[in-house]
Amino acid sequence: MQLSKMENQPKEYLVLLYYCFTPIEDAPKFREEHHKLCLDLNLRGRIIVADEGLNGTVSGLRADCEKYMETVKADPRFEALEFKIEEAEDHTFRKLNVRYKREIVNAGLPEIKPYERTGKHLEPAEFKAMKDNEDVLIVDMRSKYESNLGHFKNAFCMDIDNFRELPEKVQELEKYKDKKILTYCTGGIKCEKASAFLLEQGFEDVYQLHGGIIKYGLEEGGEDFEGKCYVFDNRVAVDVNTINPSIVSTCTVCGTPSEHMVNCANTVCNKHTIICESCMDEMEGTCSDECKSAPTKRAYNPEGYYAKEQNGYNPYKGSKRGHEAPFVSQCE
């Protein structure tokens, strides 16, 4: 497995992004076993187990992550799983969550089985070669707050606040049925279901960027990805374009170019939005005058990131080892 481009001194931690659609018999039992594996390797992150497969993002020390990858891929069910690997200075998560859910990506389409039928996978180099053709439409399958921060040049960005809205919004693409549809998302998982759903809806020439934006950045330098890529960990946003980077997002408050993605300080709002550093100070971390004067406004955090209260977080919760002492020190 190829690691991301290293600096002179390799960083101590790795971040792993992965998914695999494959039937898992007795998925709740597998969730328990997988939870124990992550505990033993001191990993943190979010992992979803479902009858249809496995999806996760975890961080940990390099040796622990390498052991995790080796163990997961030793299971024949996950032999084809591909890890997107990035380096980090420290853990990018504050805790570990391993959950059993109905789907490994919340699309509201449990009947869609990508391991039976899905769009044609394009490796990053193939995607790059096709994306500018006249008979192609590039479609961003992520939520608006993600595509507002960054997207591929000339991409059609879906008007959705949540991926579950895809079935009711698919009509936006009807007029492009005569084109090759190239879908992309952060790591590839949403496109597995989205491209399969498009095929079901009568689209005939559907493709997906294998490994998503992250893999494209690692292998092709992120060329023509404009802005930053939103990620679901404490980093919030990462650079992927080292060839022709640009800024496409603007401050919600003043409209100046900015890539400063934050959560509104008003707990009732809490929306992901872009607020420049100057407006952050003036608005005390909120996105509007209404939120600034709201009684539910949190204390101003210039970073714009508000972690959930740990409430005595115990990483063993949900594990048969739950009686053991919590690793509270690991989540500070």
User: What's residue 222's pLDDT?
Assistant: 97
pTM of the model: 0.83
Which ranges of the chain have pLDDT less than 70? 1-8, 307-332
Residue 232 confidence (pLDDT)? 86
pLDDT at position 302 is 86
Task: Choose among 142, 181, 185, 193: nearest CA to 163.
Answer: 142
pLDDT of residue 8: 63
What fold, for 13-100? Alpha-Beta Plaits (3.30.70)
Q: Out of 185, 276, 287, 331, pick the active-site residue.
A: 185
pLDDT one-digit tens code per residue, 290-314:
999 999 999 998 888 776 654 455 6
- Reported as a single tens digit per residue, the pLDDT across 211-267 is 999 999 999 999 999 999 999 888 889 999 999 999 999 999 999 999 999 999 999
Identical fold, 13-100 and 120-230: no
Is 264 known to be catalytic? no
Sequence ranges of the domains in the chain:
13-100, 120-230, 250-305
120-230, CATH topology level: Oxidized Rhodanese; domain 1 (3.40.250)
The predicted pLDDT at position 332 comes to 24
> pLDDT at position 328, please?
26
